[in-house]
Copies of this chain bind each other. A is one copy, B any other.
Amino acid sequence: MHPRYARIADELRAAILGGELPVGAPLPSETVLAARHGVARGTIRQAVAVLTAEGLVGSRQGARRIVLGRERSQNFAVLHSFAEWARAAGHEVTGQVIDQRRRAADAAEAARLGLAVGDPVLRVLRLRRLDGVAVLLERTVYAGWLAPAVERLPADCDSVTRALYESRGLVFAYGEHLIDAVAAGTEDARLLGVRRGGPLLRQRRVTTTREGRPAEWSDDRYRAGSVTFAIRNAAGALAVHPQD
């Protein structure tokens, strides 16, 4: 059972997405909403805070809240899991491990993962296809304590994130992402089927468990034109999701 404020937020979100509250329209005032739902104003404020964080409504002290947009950003899970995003967007996603081996962490890897140089890590090279087309090349380094769980996964595992959640209860809760453009190297060009030196969108990321323990470090390269990151920001709140 979701808490009360979450259900009120769901209801308001549905009204916005369904067009009952069109873009530009004012939301009912907090007092009205509180009376209508039979709750205290504080509970309404928690509900609208959720919508504000999603970028759906804006607010200024003294004036009524306004509906800003109708697109809900998928928020954050997508930055951790290509497969989760693709499935939600209605695409068929497949994965294939090309190379996988254990080795000792070098200085850069150790720094990113909070390990000592020489600690064991697992390096995986994985190619992802979207509706049959190769679009993403992942070079991932997993911390040693994760290696056994990752090695047990099948080579064509679709969603590593989901598999690790189901087998180990592991949740990737925090992350840092660096996004830039790079020229395709020889291996990139061959596997993704693009010209060497052509544009690739690169996302480097560190993902961390709920406890703040670094779990994986990855260099992901997307074929240009296949994926776009969409960021929506609304005075203090942001949301990010890849797009077609």
Assess whether B231 is in contact with A177, with CB atoms less than 8 Å apart.
yes
Residues of B near A239 (CB, < 8 A) are 238
Interface residue SS majority, chain A: strand
Q: A198 and B178: CB pair below 8 A? A: no
Q: Does A53 contact B (CB under 8 A)?
A: yes
In the complex, the count of this chain's copies comes to 2
Output the least CB separation between A9 and chain B (Å).
Answer: 12
Kindly state the separation between the CA atoms of A230 and B233 in the bound complex, as whole angstroms: 14
Within 8 A of B (CB), among A218-244: 222, 224-225, 227-240, 243
Q: In the complex, what's the smallest C-beta–C-beta distance from A75 to chain B, in angstroms?
A: 7
User: Quick check: B240 and A238 within 8 Å, CB to CB?
Assistant: yes
Among B60, B173, B201, B237, contact of A234 (Cβ-Cβ < 8 Å): B173
- Docked Cα-Cα span, A60 to B171, in Å, equals 13
A78's closest neighbor in chain B, by CB? B233
Nearest 8 pairs of A and B residues by beta carbon: A199-B199, A181-B201, A238-B238, A181-B181, A177-B231, A180-B228, A181-B199, A76-B233
Given contacts A67-B212, A79-B233, 16 further A-B contacts (CB under 8 A): A58-B173, A58-B174, A68-B174, A75-B236, A76-B236, A174-B234, A176-B232, A179-B201, A179-B228, A179-B230, A182-B225, A183-B224, A198-B199, A199-B199, A238-B238, A238-B239
